[in-house]
Amino acid sequence: MTDIPAPTHLGTIYTAKEAAARLKMTQRGVITLGKRYGCCSVHGGRTVLFSEQDLVDIWQIMRAPATESKLATARALSSYSTDVFFRDLLRKEQAKKDERRRFRKAQEAETREKRLEEKRQATRAKLDARIAKREAKAQEMAARRAARSVPASELDLKNRDPAYWTDERKKALRRERAARIQEHVGEDR
């Protein structure tokens, strides 16, 4: 036959709202501390209940740490309970977890920033390559136009061969005539 522990009297059971009012905290704060340090009971996944001892434990957790060390006496050592020891141990472990989590998040943020910077640099390189390509093409087109253009002084105005009068030569002739008209109009004024 297994030994079943005798039931103990829990005292008053409080809801999260009642516990928050009693500790003068918010409901969320009481629930967070209760779950973090194991000072509550969860029923149905969402209902959080607190016993009188849970409220005392939460109150002890919220106490400010001493600024100076207290001299240990024999009486103080004997009254030191295992609950306090485990609570302190749990608090230290939670602090370590929080520190690791912060470190991991910082590393993830740094890695993400490096990836984004690499993408930005790749995009800048592509954009610079496109701009250089466009400029090279524009220079090439300008060189082609310059090579195709015929100076007006070299035109043979008496040549009646249709093959001789290419578009470039026709444009050069028009430019020459427009320049002469401008000169003539400028002299009249």
Mean pLDDT for the stretch of residues 47-55:
90
Domain borders along the chain are: 11-63, 103-148, 150-184
3-state secondary structure the chain: CCCCCCCCCCCCEEEHHHHHHHHCCCHHHHHHHHHHHCCCEEECCCEEEEEHHHHHHHHHHHCCCCCCCCCCCHHHHHHCCHHHHHHHHHHHHHHHHHHHHHHHHHHHHHHHHHHHHHHHHHHHHHHHHHHHHHHHHHHHHHHHHHHHCCCHHHCCCCCCCCCCCCHHHHHHHHHHHHHHHHHHHHHHC
Q: Which CATH number fits domain 11-63: 3.40.50.720, 1.10.3720.10, 3.40.1260.20, 1.10.1660.10?
A: 1.10.1660.10
pTM equals 0.34
pLDDT digits (tens, 9 = 90+) for 98-150: 999 999 999 999 999 999 999 999 999 999 999 999 999 998 888 777 666 65
Q: What is the per-residue pLDDT across 9-29, written as a single tens digit (0 to 9) for each?
A: 667 889 999 999 999 999 999
Average pLDDT, the chain: 83
